Amino acid sequence: MVLGLTTFLAACNFEGGVEQGRCVAFNPEGKTITIVVDVTHDQFNPHYSGGTHTYKLPTTPGEMGPTPEVGGRLMIDLAKNNVLIYDNNANAVREIPVQFVDVEKNIRPKHPKVAGKTFPIVDKEQQTVTVYSSRLSSLITFKVPASEIDLPVYAWTAGNEMRVAFRTSDKDQAIRIMNVSKTNIFSK
Q: Where are the domains of the chain?
A: 18-69+159-182, 73-156
pTM greater than 0.85:
yes
pLDDT in tens, the chain (188 residues): 434 433 443 555 668 899 999 999 999 999 999 999 999 988 888 999 988 999 999 999 899 989 999 999 999 999 999 999 999 989 999 999 999 999 999 999 999 999 999 999 999 999 999 999 998 999 999 999 999 999 999 999 999 999 999 999 999 999 999 999 988 665 65
CATH 2.40.50.320 fits 18-69+159-182, yes or no: yes
Q: Is-contact 21 166, C-beta < 8 A?
A: no
> Cα 40–41–43 angle (5° rounding)?
105
For residues 89 and 148, what is the distance between their CA atoms, to the nearest angstrom? 14
Q: Are strands 138-143 and 92-97 parallel, antiparallel or unpaired?
A: unpaired
